[in-house]
Amino acid sequence: MPIEQIGVVGCGLMGSGIAQTAAQAGFTVVVREVSPALLERGLQSIEKNLARLVEKGVLTGAAAKEARARLRGTTALEDLRACDLIIEAIIESLPAKRELFAALDALCPPAAIFASNTSSMCITEMAFATKRPERFLGLHFFNPVPVMNLVELIRTVATAPAVFEEVLAFVARLGKTPVRVADRPGFVVNRLLIPYLLDAVRALEEGLASLEDMDTAMKLGCGHPMGPFTLLDFVGLDTTLYIANILFDEFREPRFAPPPLLKRMVMAGWIGRKAGRGFYDYSDPKNPRPVALL
Ligand SMILES: NC(=O)c1ccc[n+]([C@@H]2O[C@H](COP(=O)([O-])OP(=O)(O)OC[C@H]3O[C@@H](n4cnc5c(N)ncnc54)[C@H](O)[C@@H]3O)[C@@H](O)[C@H]2O)c1
């Protein structure tokens, strides 16, 4: 049975992006939120995004209308019963995710496939909250979903190869590029990115160079679109610290250990762009100024 009807649970930043992308790709989508107000907010952000794509000439008005018509919102979990693939994008809490998947497992026919968009939780631990771990995998989209092309597909020891391939084909139909990954913390992108970011902070602590010079060096020397400190501020120092701790807990390797400066900046609430201050001060957002930290 090919995947046709998609369920998305959570219509926040990621869920709304996933629902929009699937509807644009021609899938029928049901998206579930916890309250009518949150659902309305999520659906409105999708409508706004579609309208922006029409304005930019990326999408015709008719195509945007068709995409919107393929998308239905609900607050009732039962409305996901007919979905072939259900993608979870709720808050990053393992108990909440396990509880949701157990409820879906009791509700949905055995053929339905379940996927989690988690960035940091263990997929295996979620899969075994259901009685269908062979039909369970991770589907890690990147923010903003309609723009970012990568999707990490995460298999557990129990994921059936045929299910994995079926979801891989679904991702390709979304127009995205899938990569295959085993269920390990950080998957590929964060596993490689986080130690690099932590190393940049360690180099700053050591007095290797100024943070602007390190940003410039990585932009011009490696062709990166932004240097490590600009990227840290963009991702959020709190998010970086959280993922570093998860990687360190699992692997116990010094390269994943968060450096003291990063921890103290999080304690101070200097967590990056969203706080107006991290490694740079954003009081004038068009002209971020490096903060003297040491
Ligand atoms: N933000 C990112 O850059 C990013 C990137 C990749 C993956 N993720 C992962 O995606 C997931 C969602 O992140 P987000 O940034 O969209 O968070 P968000 O807070 O913007 O959205 C989560 C939404 O889920 C809703 N929700 C909570 N419990 C629910 C339930 N039982 N049923 C339906 N809806 C429920 C909340 O009301 C909220 O609107 C997390 O697991 C996160 O780790 C986030």
**How buried is 223 (Cβ within 10 angstroms: 0-12 exposed, 13-18 middle, 19+ buried)?**
exposed
**CA of 14 relative to ligand 1 center, distance in Å:** 6
Could you give the percent of the chain with pLDDT greater than 90?
99
pLDDT, average across residues 62-70: 97
Are the C-beta atoms of 138 and 112 separated by less than 8 Å? no
First to last CA, the chain: 59
| 138 Cβ closer than 6 Å to some ligand 1 atom | no
Is residue 190 part of the annotated active site? The answer reads: yes
Q: Is the dihedral of CA 211, 192, 135, 144 positive or negative?
A: positive
Nearest to 20 by CA among 115, 146, 117: 146
The model's pLDDT over 140-175, given as tens digits with 9 standing for 90+, comes to 999 999 999 999 999 999 999 999 999 999 999 999
Are the C-beta atoms of 137 and 155 separated by less than 8 Å? yes
**How buried is 33 (Cβ within 10 angstroms: 0-12 exposed, 13-18 middle, 19+ buried)?**
buried
The model's pLDDT over 100-133, given as tens digits with 9 standing for 90+, comes to 999 999 999 999 999 999 999 999 999 999 999 9
Are the C-beta atoms of 116 and 94 separated by less than 8 Å? no
Compute the distance between CA of residue 202 and CA of residue 219 in angstroms, rounded to an integer. Answer: 19
**CA of 280 relative to ligand 1 center, distance in Å:** 27
